[in-house]
A and B are shown apart, each in its own frame.
Chain A
Amino acid sequence: MTLARKNGEAHPIGLTIRGATKVYPGTVALKDVDFDIRMGAVNVLVGENGAGKSTLMKVIAGVETLTSGEININGRPVTFRTKDDAVTNGIGIVFQELDLFPDMSVSENVFMAREPLRFGIDIDQALVEERTRELMQRLEQDIDPDTTLGHLRIGQQQVVEIAKALAQDAKILILDEPTSALSAAEVEVLFRIIDELKAQGVGIVYISHRLEELIRVGDYITVLRDGEITGSRSMEGVDIPWIVQAMIGGKSKDFSQFIAHEFGKEVFRAEDIALPKMGGGFMVDHVSLTVRAGEILGLYGLMGAGRSEFLECIMAQHPEAKGRFFVDDAELREKHVSGRIARGIALVPEDRKRDGLVQIMSVRENITLSSLSQFTTVFHLNLRKEVARAAEFIKRMTVKVASPGNPISSLSGGNQQKVVIGKALMTGPKVLLMDEPSRGIDVGAKAEIYHKMRDLAAEGIGIIFVTSDLEEVLALSDRIIVMADGRISGEFGKNAKAADVIAAATPANARSRNKDLVS
């Protein structure tokens, strides 16, 4: 606290949030959060998925409004109703997924929807290009304003996004996982830009999962856990164990107890799976692993480590992938999802909305979609059988729904996820693949899903689940495999140490870059 005050003189507080609470239907995303943004410094924000980081940033960027609490800029209370309100108050945000227009030029992107006009109608192209050039000079980037954005490397596109924020006179710049898609050299460029912006007095909020990186770049650190602040201090003296402790804390979420049972024989084996990446390298770099019946295998890693892609390879989504899969020692040669499902593999995809559900269909139609052949004689669909089976699984998964005929979109996230899992289970899988099974659902539903996973394992299903939640992978897995850069970078037993798992998950380039910082 004393440290913070001492530095506080050097770094004036530009924005404060006091008592911020944000309630979504069924879940509290932020609980009485206090947060300061110091100008001319990097304010690091860290926490696990679902801890409330992005909600907090959305509040600051005017995308969401607080249920209660206040925001002050330079001591003056403000309310942001729209993103524009936040922009006028000098707040710029660079989201993890860049929202740029790949077919337009760099300068058009930078001034999108805010083009300087002559006589109110004609875009002043010369001015647009000149100011873009100035911004690029300020960022010390040699990017021609005329270049089509899609032709730039991803790191350069990010620079354009930063320039876009700066063009709106951003005094506070929020960077949400800016390095997740960057190469080591590009990260260096980004850090140089951050240093320059700091020197110019810009307050930077930096969100990342890469802890070494945070220690290197940050001046102040704030840790969020389940919507609450669990640590907030100057970066001096902060090390990885401290961050991990603050992120995970002493109290554990409601993970269900291990049900003691013996593992069966091997049900699934992947041999030397390689998925080439566009522009060289591998998304999945020669991965081999096995799962036994009744075993829960946790696949941990950062975004872009190739975990989801690996699951997609198992589900025949990448015909260009090399390598072989075996279920019960028989090779999977089926080229289609339906064939793989028939062989006893089922996937619970990461993105429920995009991949898991057909939003305009009913709960019943969604839950039976993968298993229609069970109710079909020749070509006739036995609706009565279908209704009965759907009801059975709705009950088994404890989905709360008024009527199975209601559209799936009317359910809460947790119940939707249960339907997705129910759909996978109805196919009678031997191996269940779950990609971030607890993403975006409330704590109660999470606990139910953990419990369900345990039960399924006890029934003898082999489970591979992908997660970015450290606590989850540690508590739920019988065995942990860590991936980084598409490769398996570590394998741990049931009682793995959190710090070891995190260290293994750090990509090789970041590791060598921060060699001196890792204790």
Chain B
Amino acid sequence: MSLMSESAMATPRSNTNWLLLLLKARTFVALLLVLAFFSVMAPNFLSTANAILVSKHVAINAFLAIGMTFVIITGGIDLSVGSVVGLTSMVAGWLVLNGIDVGLGWSIQFNTFEIAALVCLAGIFVGWINGILITRFNVAPFIATLGMLYVARGAALLFSGGRTFPNLNGNPEYGSHTFPLIGTGNFLGLPVMIWMLIAVALGASYIASRTPLGRQIYATGGNERGAALSGVRVNRVKMFVYMFAGLMAAIVGLIIASQLRAAHPATGEFFELNAIAAAVLGGTSMSGGRGRIVGTIIGAFVIGILSDGLVMMGVSSFWQMVVKGLVIIAAVVIDQAQSRLQARVALAQEVALSK
């Protein structure tokens, strides 16, 4: 009798486990589906050249999405990253063209590495302001970064009076002639920016899963009060995630300025929304405490492949937007189903234990 009931129990449970596994890997499943779909539907989709092209498109969004993931895990949001991309690309353009004017007819010129470092500092600085507003002045993250969205965009426009900085080819005399290589150069057959993405993604995953800081980022988002009472320096954690998001935006600004060999103040409009979409698609919970870097990167690839693939199929950009929106909504609906199922499975385990 007991044997029978046990085997009867086992079947539904292993079914739920399979379903749970499938739901957990849903972003990956979605990635395989879009890959398979476009390999069949779009000619030349599966070529190496195309793969690299798509990856380059994806990388831009993936950088921002990685930064965004950390912010969202703490329960916040950063709407300013798109504008910071614009601002930092203008900073890059200014530094390449003009250097820093110290007056008296002198100016300091920088080589590529120094330019990159300064641009990154600029991005981190904007993130620092966001963090200060949120932790010291208790401004809601949505509002603080919305304000920064306007301020940074305005500052980008003020840099050049709204004009583009053209011909950012650098100057061999100053060592800045390598500037265009950031976005266009290759190393061991892969674009430099892809290597940068790999490095950043590995670093971010490491932070998330193998450092106390990562654990504290999750704890802050899961229960801020509880985390604070457990000794987590919640404000420091928040400062870090916004500064990190600023750094990611600066890297993107640098790459775009380098790719185009020009810096335009409108660069990066709506990038923040794509970044949020990639993070959410990758399973990051908007209420905080949950999300993974790997998921976010897969999410960025799903979105990127979807839009590039639809372009290659000749689908109108209007339909592209509709499809993208539907995919994001579907992702969250499935996400809710997964958390319900997961809670049920864990509860069943505990009940079984207490029997």
| A-to-B contact residues, CB < 8 Å | 26, 315, 317, 336-338, 340-341, 347, 349, 354-361, 365, 369-370, 372-373, 376, 379-381, 383, 400-403, 406-407, 409-412, 423, 427
Contacts and interface: CB of A to CB of B under 8 A. Distances in A.
B17 interface: no
A380 B230 contact: no
Given A337-B231, A361-B218, A410-B350, A372 B226 contact: no
Contact of A315 (B218, B229, B232): B229
Nearest to A312: B229
24 contacts: A337-B232, A349-B226, A355-B229, A356-B229, A357-B223, A358-B218, A358-B219, A361-B289, A365-B218, A369-B219, A372-B215, A372-B216, A376-B212, A379-B211, A381-B211, A381-B212, A400-B354, A401-B350, A402-B349, A402-B352, A407-B346, A409-B346, A410-B346, A412-B354
Nearest to B231: A338
A369 B212 CA distance: 9
B346 A406 contact: yes
A401 B347 CA distance: 10
Given A365-B215, A407-B346, A370 B289 contact: no
A20 B347 CA distance: 28
Nearest to A362: B346
Given A349-B229, A354-B225, A360 B211 contact: no
A358 B222 CA distance: 5
B51 interface: no
A493 B85 CA distance: 67
Given A358-B222, A406-B346, A410-B349, A372 B227 contact: no
Interface in B336-355: 342-343, 346-347, 349-350, 352-354
B228 interface: yes
Nearest to A424: B230
B219 A406 contact: no
A361 B219 contact: yes
Nearest to B354: A400
Contacts of B223: 354, 357-359
A337 B228 contact: yes
Contacts, number: 100
A359 B215 contact: no
Given A373-B212, A381-B211, A360 B231 contact: no
Contacts of A427: 231
Among B210, B223, B354: residue with most chain A CB under 10 A: B223
Given A358-B227, A402-B349, A336 B343 contact: no
A349 B225 CA distance: 11
A360 B291 CA distance: 11
B290 interface: yes
B233 interface: yes
B222 A355 contact: no
A410 B347 contact: yes
Contact of A356 (B210, B218, B226, B347): B226
Contact of A370 (B214, B225, B230): B230
Contact of A369 (B210, B214, B215): B215
Interface string B160-201: 000000000000000000000000000000000000000000
A410 B212 contact: no
B54 interface: no
Contact of B229 (A337, A400, A410): A337
Contacts of B230: 337, 369-370, 423
